[in-house]
Structures are given as C-alpha cells and as structure tokens.
A and B are shown apart, each in its own frame.
Chain A
Amino acid sequence: MKILVCIKQVADLESRFQVASGQTWFNETDLAFRLNEYDEFAVEAAVQLKEQTGGDLTVISVGPARASEALKKALAMGADQAVHVLEDQQLESFQTAQVIFEQIKAQGYDLIFTGMQSSDKGSGQVGLLLGEMLKINSVSCVVAFKYDGRIEVERELEGGLRAKLKLATPALVTCQLGLNQPRYPTLPNIMKAKKKPKSEVTSPAPASRLQVVALGPPPKAGAAELIEGDLLAQVSKVVAILKEHKLA
C-alpha cells in the first residue's frame, strides 16, 4: 500500500505577530515554527496504517527551507521518505493543493492523509482540493479511522455528534484533533530519520485566486479591563469583583 501524508510547518500561535511590509503576511523573523498540530494526527494515522499494512509512507511539504524541520519530525515519527517542495512565497490553499497535485499525480497513492486545517490560516481547503484534483473519494474532519480493505471513518459534526461512513480506496482523509495520540519521536528514531531519503524539488505555483487587501491586528474590543501588577493586588481585585457580583 502506498501512503502519503501532507504536512505544513506553521508559526507557533503563542508568538506575537507583526504585519510584514507588503501587508499580506506577518514578519517571520524571531518566530518559532512547528509542525501544524492537525498534521501531527495525520502523520500518526499514516504511520499506524503503514504499520498495519506494511506499506510505504511518503511525507510531503510545501514551504521555505525552515519546513525541513517539520519533515524531519514526520520521518522520525515513522515516514519512509520526504519530499520538500521549496517555496518561499506564502501560497493560498488552491496554489498549495495544485503544487502537491503536480508532484504526486503520477504516484498512485492508495491513501492520503492531511490535517483538517492549518492552525495559522484555518481554511480547511488543501486536503479536499487535492482529493478533487485527483478525482478520488475524500472525507474531512475525521476523528476515527479503520482500514480493512475499505476505510471506515467517523466525521465529527457539531455538538458531539459524529457520522459514520465507509468508502473505497484510493481515498483522502483530513484529520481532526483527537483522532489518535501522536507519538513522540524517540532518540533512536530521530537518528534513523537522518538516513532516510529526502528530496528537494521546486515547482511553479499557479496564480492565486485570492487577493489580500489588508492585514492587521484585530480591532481592540475595549470591553476587557486589564488587571495587572502585583499578584496579591490582582487577587484582591478579583475577589472584590466576585463579591460585587455575589459569586463568592
């Protein structure tokens, strides 16, 4: 079985973000980057399937040189080889999906995993667009996954409800948080990952279908009163607020 997992490296959301000149993206200097959290679940699902079926697992990412760290993590988690499509521009979902499609269309993957969305943009488009480009079955927001010749999944709906579905391969699933428990790469596996095949390629991106008009911080809501300063003063203030509202 040939398995693919698509991953993205994203800025850590705990960072402070400043708009870069050009007004379409944020300044990446001094930011920490990590493997997109949703993609960790996708990698884990792909590795588990490979362990179950004895398949071959490729990991692919589109991004600048720094994205190689995310690929290394996926290799250390159990992927067999990595493809890094070097891209310094900040692509929109359609462009990313098209770039991945061009790389993999002739490969005949049986199963493709992606995260349900990236934590930086949250569009939730790349996986489904890729499935459409490949003209294969796809299902989004999967919180349970089983393979027994066909795949059986549960999609997460709103309010705790799920939908159970069965579909034939080839197929693509996008993975929601909580699908599994992503493993931590062990030191021996991190060492082994260094010897796994990695290829770097370039591929021209199509024109974007979106135009960013402006980017900036959210308007200050103004509603929240900040309680700053000395710890004990903060505590007294909160106790006073609770008492005022008859909550303590």
Chain B
Amino acid sequence: MKALLIGEVLRGKLAPSLYEMLGFASQAGLESVVLVCAPISTNPQFTGKLYQGDGGEYDPLSHKAMALEVIAKENPDLVVLMHSSYGWDLAPRLAMELGWGQISEAIAFDSGTFNQVLVGGKLRRSVKTVSGQAVVTLQSGAFSEAAPAGSPALESISALKGAIEWLGYVEKPAQDLDLTKAQKIVSAGRGIGKADNLGMIQELAQVLGAELGASRPVVDSGWVEHSHQVGSTGATVTPELYMACGISGAVQHLAGMKKSELIIAINKDKDAPIGEVAHYVVVADLLQFVPALTKALKA
C-alpha cells in the first residue's frame, strides 16, 4: 500500500506538519511519496520520492492538476493532507476528481478505519471508504511526527496556470498583547452568555495577575479583540495556569492550550470535551462561581 502525502508551503517554507503525515504513513505501514506544489527553501528528510512543483502557494486548480499527475504515475491507495486551511481546501477537489470518498480530520487510524470527532467532541465515529481508496485529512497534532531522516529522490513537476489571482498575504495587525508569553491566562468562552459578563472574567484575571484569553466565538462576537484568541487560528499558549471559563473545548481551542501546565475548567457540563485536557473541571454555573472565587482570592 502506498500513500501520497501532500505537503504545504507558506512563504517559501515547507510546513513541518509533513512529518506528522510521514508519522501516520509509517504507523499505518504505508510507503510514502511526497508532493510539494510550490518551491521550498529546504527539502524534507525522508526516504522515498519527492515531487517538487513550481506553482504558487495557493492555487487550487494548478495544485489539483499536479496532484492528479502524480497520482496517475504512482497509483497510491491514500492521498493524505493535513486538515488545515491548505488541506481542507484541496482534499475535496481531489476526492471529486478521483471519485474517492474523503475522510475529514482523522484523529486516529486503527486496522483500516479512521476515527473522527463529531458534534464538538461529544461523539466519535470510526469510518472507512467503501472502495478502500481514500482522500484523508489529518487533525493537526493527532499523529506523532516521524523523525527527519534520509534524503528523498527528487522529481520536478510543472504547474499550469490557475484561475484564481493571488494578491498576497495579509499580516495580522501588530498587537500589544502577546498571550504566548503570559504565565497565567483566564479565558472566556461562549458559556459567559453575553458581553456584559466579560467584566467578571476580567476581574478574576486581574486578581490572579493573569491575561485575558478567549475562545473563537467570543472574539467573533466582537466582545474582545482577536489578540486575546487562543486556539488554532489564534495563539498557541503554554502558561503555568489556564482557567477556561465556559469553554466547552472545541478541537481548535484545545489545540491552542492543551500543553498548559495547570488547566482548570469551569463548566456546567461535566462531560464537556474540555475535560479531556483539563486537570480539574469545576462543575458549576460560572456566573456564580467566578465572582465567588474572585471574592475569596481578594480576601
């Protein structure tokens, strides 16, 4: 069995997540062929073949064509990408063209089936494709990285011109707050209910000498600035203390804070997925618990 792993390129650099894909392939006992559609500064280290394209960094039509060319040559059983902004965009295009089933955001692989998370982490399912061939995207961090070793055989591949015009990267605005340097973070989630309740979270943060963090819905609602966002589209943090107030624990949030040293969650639902990474879950209404804790800490 063979897997085509499609690496992603950001600003001339190959994303290190390729080693997660190589780790998955090795765990699954698959031979690996790698395709990288845009030029990269340093080649990855693995044993196998590396197809190197000369396309832009995001150009779906052209990347799809390059992948199909490599698939026709190599006949892989699996096409593997990360479940990232690059991978989830390209994967369905390939699945459609190949007529294969797609398995999105796999978190584990066991004897031919992939595990996936449903309904915000409250259920899991194991699936396989009917044909056995599959396009799979892997959840970031779910598979152990392969150690870089070896030197791939290189083959060049030419990009065709796509239909989408690339206007460039847009930087995030400069931010005063750098959550990644915070030693303590008190974060607010959707469970705070409304913007007015943010005050009590801020007060607790102040008493603890912590920075204010937030989950994505709180930021999208405009209650706090994006610089406070923790998770895969915000900051990845590793403070000594992370208090998650009313955060149920979507995988994207967990990815950004699960390596914190001490995680205390406050949640009405004792089964909330935040419990998978928290050390303690206070099962309580945060609107009562947070002010009570602040008061006790002030005393």
Chain A residues near B (Cβ < 8 Å): 11, 13-17, 19, 24, 26, 92-94, 119-125, 128-129, 132-133, 137-141, 152, 154-168, 177-178, 181, 207-218, 221, 223-228, 231-232, 234-236, 238-239, 241-242, 245, 247-248
Chain B residues near A (Cβ < 8 Å): 10, 57-58, 60, 83-86, 88-89, 91-93, 95-97, 100-105, 113, 117-131, 163-172, 184, 208, 216-217, 219-220, 222, 226, 232-234, 240-241, 248, 262, 264-265, 269-271, 273, 275-284, 288-289, 292-293, 296-297
Question: When the two chains form the complex, which single residue of B88, B100, B265 contacts A140, counting CB atoms closer than 8 Å?
Answer: B88
CB closest chain-B residue, reference A178:
B220
Q: How far is the CA of A202 from the CA of B69 in the complex (A)?
A: 38
Q: How far is the CA of A63 from the CA of B128 in the complex (A)?
A: 24
Pair B10/A167 contact, Cβ less than 8 Å:
no
Q: Chain B's nearest CB lies how many Å from the CB of A200?
A: 27
Q: How far is the CA of A54 from the CA of B104 in the complex (A)?
A: 37
Pair B167/A152 contact, Cβ less than 8 Å:
yes
Q: List 6 A-B contacts (CB under 8 A).
A: A132-B93, A156-B85, A210-B101, A210-B127, A239-B297, A248-B208
Pair B208/A178 contact, Cβ less than 8 Å:
no
Pair A211/B240 contact, Cβ less than 8 Å:
no
Q: How far is the CA of A15 from the CA of B271 in the complex (A)?
A: 11
Q: How far is the CA of A87 from the CA of B88 in the complex (A)?
A: 26
Pair B293/A245 contact, Cβ less than 8 Å:
no
| Nearest 7 interchain pairs by C-beta | A209-B101, A160-B172, A128-B92, A123-B104, A164-B167, A132-B96, A162-B170
Pair B96/A218 contact, Cβ less than 8 Å:
no
Pair B93/A238 contact, Cβ less than 8 Å:
no
CB closest chain-A residue, reference B57:
A163
Pair A226/B281 contact, Cβ less than 8 Å:
yes
Given known contacts A128-B93, A226-B281, A245-B240, A138 and B60 CB-to-CB distance under 8 angstroms: yes
Chain B residues near A14: list those with CB within 8 A: 248, 269
Given known contacts A119-B120, A156-B233, A158-B232, A124 and B163 CB-to-CB distance under 8 angstroms: no
Q: How far is the CA of A13 from the CA of B274 in the complex (A)?
A: 14
Given known contacts A94-B102, A123-B105, A141-B85, A159 and B233 CB-to-CB distance under 8 angstroms: yes
Question: When the two chains form the complex, which single residue of B118, B125, B280 contacts A227, counting CB atoms closer than 8 Å?
Answer: B280
Q: Chain A's nearest CB lies how many Å from the CB of B66?
A: 16
Chain B residues near A93: list those with CB within 8 A: 92, 102, 104
CB closest chain-B residue, reference A19:
B123
CB closest chain-B residue, reference A18:
B123
Chain B residues near A216: list those with CB within 8 A: 123-125
Q: Chain B's nearest CB lies how many Å from the CB of A169?
A: 11
Pair A13/B220 contact, Cβ less than 8 Å:
no
Pair B84/A158 contact, Cβ less than 8 Å:
yes
Chain B residues near A247: list those with CB within 8 A: 184, 208, 240-241, 262
Pair B281/A242 contact, Cβ less than 8 Å:
no
Pair B280/A158 contact, Cβ less than 8 Å:
no
Chain A residues near B113: list those with CB within 8 A: 213
Question: When the two chains form the complex, which single residue of A94, A124, A140, A158 contacts B101, counting CB atoms closer than 8 Å?
Answer: A94
Chain B residues near A121: list those with CB within 8 A: 104, 118
Q: How far is the CA of A45 from the CA of B151 in the complex (A)?
A: 48
Q: Chain B's nearest CB lies how many Å from the CB of A22?
A: 12
